[in-house]
Structure 1
Amino acid sequence: MKKIVLTALLLTLSFGAFAQDDVEEKDYTTNVATLNSIIESLYTVISGDKGFKRDWDLFKHLFHKNAKLIPTGKSIKGEIKVRYLSVDDYISTSGEWLETNGFHEREVHRTVESFGAITQVFSTYEAYKTKTDEVPFLKGINSIQLFNDGTRWWIINLLWTQETEDTPIPETYLPQED
């Protein structure tokens, strides 16, 4: 009887070990290898149609552990406000909304300033509910502060504001006709 119990226990432990081997660690190295790849990954990871599950592990991988996401805009009372969110705060406050409503954010213009290991990107965006929408339901600018540690890029801060009637996006930050 002891032999049967011991054999069953060993089989159970063996299957558990094999199951752990089946869980594949995702490799996000290419997503943070270049400035372009990290910006493209940022836009791609939050975008998707209704019901599309976002890759929040990738989203977290783009940001430094102390990064802040900082939306700005007018409150209902008309006061200009700023909110400071951690990456996890952003996921818990916006993740479900993105997946329930559908959200596609597309970069339409970018300006880049760099010095040493730091880079500041002004990234003009347009947001759509579906991939096939032709008219954006909102526009704005993402101000993205990044750091390159010599092996990869990190988003340090992401500050954004939406275009309004009172604050249209300046021509400098709009796509230029050739």
Structure 2
Amino acid sequence: MMKKLILLVLITFMTSAIHSQGKSKEKEAPKDYSENVSTINSTINSLYAAISGEKGKKRDWALFKYLFHPDGKLITSGKNDESKFQIRYMKPDDYVKSSGKWIVDNGFIEKEVHRAVDAFGNMAQVFSTFEAFQSEKDEEPFMRGINSIQLLNDGTRWWIVNVFWDNEDRRNPIPRNYLPK
């Protein structure tokens, strides 16, 4: 009798656990990010929002990845150890793997301070000048640069095709026409 009672309790517990797992999966329906990509403005603002946050704040990597065309890339530029100019291509997943932990652990808030948009047909080129901070409390950015963002409108939404950026340094200052007026 005791064995049957224990077996009944275990079956009830397991059934309840399986049932509650099914319910939690039902609640985790994908978010509707369609408003985030309805305009050039909403797409660019969503890009900055997805990667920005105080130290320890989780980022919305699902939104970040949603912004990019399936063939979209992030391209960073800079000099290697031999002072030769080079670029590195990344898929959104590569960016999350290489930088995601650092920006959450250290805080990373990228703010757009100027935007220049050129568009024709279903394509757009955005030069977006940014300042990066580790906290909203910081008075001075630790980095500045320009994101060159290419977008495609497929008739339904805007897709980020590429984000190609370069950081400012003393030999490579941001031109005045890409700074706030």
In 1: Cα distance, 2:15 partner to 2:57 partner: 40
1:166 aligned counterpart, secondary structure = coil
Q: Show structure 1 runs of 5+ residues with no match.
A: none
1:11-70 per-residue CA deviation (whole Å, 9 max, x = no partner) reads 666444433322232111111111101100101111111111111100000001111100
In 2: Cα distance, 1:101 partner to 1:14 partner: 39
Instruction: Confirm whether residue 148 of structure 1 aligns to residue 166 of structure 2.
Output: no
Aligned match of 2:178? 173
In 2: Cα distance, 1:36 partner to 1:45 partner: 14
Instruction: Confirm whether residue 120 of structure 1 aligns to residue 144 of structure 2.
Output: no
Aligned match of 1:82? 87
1:70 aligned counterpart, secondary structure = strand
Evaluate the alpha carbon distance shift between residue 75 and residue 18 of structure 1 in structure 2; reply closer, same or farther with a 3 A threshold.
Answer: same
Equivalenced residue count is: 173
Which of 159, 166, 169 is matched with 1:164 structurally? 169
2:114 aligned counterpart, secondary structure = strand
Amino acid corresponding to residue 142 of structure 1 in structure 2: N
Evaluate the alpha carbon distance shift between residue 19 and residue 52 of structure 1 in structure 2; reply closer, same or farther with a 3 A threshold.
Answer: closer
Length-normalised TM-score, structure 2: 0.88
Higher CA-based Rg: 2
Instruction: Confirm whether residue 18 of structure 1 aligns to residue 59 of structure 2.
Output: no
Evaluate the alpha carbon distance shift between residue 100 and residue 11 of structure 1 in structure 2; reply closer, same or farther with a 3 A threshold.
Answer: closer
1:131-170 per-residue CA deviation (whole Å, 9 max, x = no partner) reads 1211011100000000011111100000000011111111
Q: Report matched runs for 1:54-69 at 5 Å.
A: 54-69=59-74
Cα offset, 1:10, TM superposition: 6.9
Amino acid corresponding to residue 18 of structure 1 in structure 2: K
In 2: Cα distance, 1:79 partner to 1:103 partner: 27
1:83 aligned counterpart, secondary structure = strand
Aligned match of 1:101? 106
